[in-house]
Amino acid sequence: MAEQLRLMAVHAHPDDESSKGAATTAKYVAQGVDVLVVTCTGGERGSVLNPKLDRPDVWANIADIRRAEMDAARAILGVDQAWLGFVDSGLPEGDPLPPLPGGCFALQDVEVAAGPLVRLMREFRPHVVTTYDEEGGYPHPDHIMCHKVSVAAFEAAGDPERYPELGAPWQPLKLYYDIGFSKAKIMALHEGMLAAGLESPYEEWLTRWEDRPDKGPRITTRVECAEYFPVRDDALRAHATQVDPDGFWFHVPMELQQRAWPTEDFQLARSVVDSPMPESDLFAGVRETAHAR
């Protein structure tokens, strides 16, 4: 009998699992893959980005509200979910930037902070792990720390000499970085909006693009998942404090998104199995290995 395939998606805050790779995880859930979302922090220092909820009672209970939102999004995506228990670092603003708050996730020692994730990897035994690149996808200190901890745990989980007290070793087979936006993707959505006679929300992005590196060339794997874009958006809307349902993310009609860019894109960063490039499946090269175990 073939071994059950397992995917672990490691994210910094509640809502990240719904804005980064969510349609991919929903697709694999529908295929019978076990998916575990790992949330590093509680999002306690996140902003309230929905003006309808920017109220004192919401701010006073933001930690509990964000946990309830995570519960709702988890149910929509059909995933399991675990909290690592670290405290949100917040996004520092100003020039110069203020110091990060003491005890926050981004200030933890990486070797120590990787321990809880190593334990989860050994318990859940994922074949594939997804997380962010070295820039965190965008330079939020918690996203960068999420990258560091994910890479450290991936490299340590299979080593019996490291963290021996945290369970029997398990080596995940592939580690991916989520590539949420590339210049080609933004251009495809922008041109699709203009061709439909609609105002593009990406105009400003494109004017700034010369100052930003394009991660498009890093993409190794494109997962066809347009069918699950509505699930992704429903999960994102469940994080009501973090997303304005009338805002930027929902300006592009669903049918246009599905037609213009029907994939979610990833960079294969580590692998202990062989799979031809480019890929269309995070489990390419894994399915055969899992079947043989």
Judge whether 131 and 142 are in contact, CB under 8 Å. no
Closest by alpha carbon to 154, among 128, 179, 133, 180?
Answer: 128
13 labelled binding-site residue: yes
**Pairing mode of beta strands 263-271, 221-224:** antiparallel
16 labelled binding-site residue: yes
143 labelled binding-site residue: yes
How far is the C-alpha of 145 from the C-alpha of 193, rounded, in Å?
A: 35
Measured in residues, the chain has a length of 293
CA 69 from chain centre, in angstroms, equals: 16
Point out the annotated binding site for Zn(2+): 13, 16, 143
Q: Annotated binding site: which residue ranges?
A: 13, 16, 143
